[in-house]
Amino acid sequence: MSSLPDYGRGYRDGLRADVTWLADRARSMNDPHAQAVLNSAAFSLGVDASQGRIPSKARGRSSVRG
């Protein structure tokens, strides 16, 4: 079944987009402290994702409830 590799690819692509978004926002900031916070968040997200430390229950679920 090809849906599992597709899901994994989508998951990785989503994390990569999140890290890129954080890094782009950091570059647009004038405040060095704000830049440091966003860069740290992007780095931590990338490290946690690469080491599999993002809980599986958090994957694929939105934290925003409508």
The full set of domain ranges for the chain reads 3-50
Global confidence as pTM: 0.66
* Predicted local distance difference test score (pLDDT) of residue 3: 59
Cα 14 from Cα 1, distance rounded (Å): 21
Cα 25 from Cα 34, distance rounded (Å): 9
Each residue of 4-30: b (16+ CB within 10 Å) or e?
A: eeeeeeeeeeebeeebeebbeebeeee
Shortest CA distance to 45 belongs to which of 23, 11, 15, 10?
A: 15
* Predicted local distance difference test score (pLDDT) of residue 1: 46
Question: pLDDT in tens for each of the 66 residues of the chain?
Answer: 455 677 778 888 888 898 999 999 999 999 999 999 999 999 998 888 888 777 655 555 555 443
Alpha-carbon radius of gyration of the chain: 14
* Predicted local distance difference test score (pLDDT) of residue 13: 87
